[in-house]
Homo-oligomer: A and B are copies of this chain.
């Protein structure tokens, strides 16, 4: 088994053993044993690494298993990679097998381990594509959802689950001013990957795509981001690409009662398989950056109904002050205009959403030389019919912000309940 630099050793050693944790250790101490061997493949060369595993688990790790899926009530990190999949197999067994494989991979990635454990043969493709080796886990979460078309498509009960389709899980209605592109809409399955590292996100999506091969394909995907506050302002509300604070008014995961009332699906709401899950609405909202950037600050502030820098309602000092929608100026006009975004989004204040959006930037819009950028809006809720849908109906008709934005993509998914240890993604739906 001894190795050397001459390449003369006759041993054949087709196995490698490593894990992301092992690598942490190895990188520090260079303790690898290395084998060079002649093999049936003609000089395939491999290395065995120390199987010892003493590095401590990374602290930027969010548990994968639990009552609810991670990535909803957990803190929103800097970067998003969202993917929508179409299932291609017609076999229920194959679909379940894929979901079980996804579960294993997702659990490994979320804990900073290599997918597939510590064994890799040089004769096979590696089970983990490797680009996240030794990277920080970076608060990675993977959140899985199912779309209405997984249950029934073109009238067909695809996987024997049509009877389990919740009433709330249906394609969103058309809203005023929608300009949807089917390339950014819908999907049988979705996964929301979030972390603080773009390479960790890419690695997660890439490996899910790889595992799905032959069973499901990427339908569309979108990366997103939010700015990171500096240490002086770490609790400041993130800003959207119009420079205004976004998600000032939002449900807080710290208020568990609010989440139970407005975000998590409760027992008795519908089919029991979704209890502990949540409905996710995504909207890819293009922002017409160049038009906005030519608009006067006063006009911008009237459009949102808030001051740009402070985020306070117009005429107020503090971001979290009550909107004061009844206030009028000396000319008798509402201080917060009738069509201001803040007023229209608020409505009567009885349709609370849990928003967890990211900005996006996708290079240039084709042939215009303008930036294709905007908001990848995501919200979680217990009842789309009472929360997102009525809010968006109002906004589509009356929001002054519509002069500067266009909804290009739309989808709804039921995000599954949390996965128990030993369980798998979709277990409650398919069992």
A10 at interface, CB cutoff 8 A: yes
**Interface residue tally for chain A (C-beta within 8 Å):** 127
10 more A-B residue pairs beyond the given contacts A8-B330, A206-B293, with a C-beta to C-beta distance below 8 A: A3-B317, A34-B315, A36-B314, A43-B333, A129-B289, A130-B242, A135-B228, A136-B230, A199-B226, A199-B359
Question: Which residues of A pack against B, CB within 8 Å?
Answer: 3, 5-8, 10, 14, 16, 18, 23-28, 30, 32-34, 36, 38-39, 41-47, 49, 55, 58, 60, 78-79, 81, 112, 120-126, 128-138, 196-200, 202, 205-206, 209-210, 213, 217-218, 220-223, 225-233, 236, 239-244, 289-290, 293-302, 307-310, 312, 314-318, 324, 327-331, 333, 335, 337, 359, 361-364, 369, 371, 373
Q: Are A135 and B328 in contact (CB under 8 A)?
A: no
Q: Are B335 and A220 in contact (CB under 8 A)?
A: no
Report Cα–Cα, A337/B45, bound state, in Å.
11
Report Cα–Cα, A100/B121, bound state, in Å.
58
Closest to A335 in B: B7
How many copies of this chain? Answer: 2
Pick the contact of A327 from B5, B220, B236, B324 — CB < 8 Å? B5
Given contacts A134-B236, A329-B43, contact A121 B297 (CB under 8 A): yes
Pick the contact of A225 from B36, B199, B217 — CB < 8 Å? B199
Question: Nearest Cβ in chain B — how far from A368, in angstroms?
Answer: 10
Question: Nearest Cβ in chain B — how far from A81, in angstroms?
Answer: 8
Question: Nearest Cβ in chain B — how far from A411, in angstroms?
Answer: 15
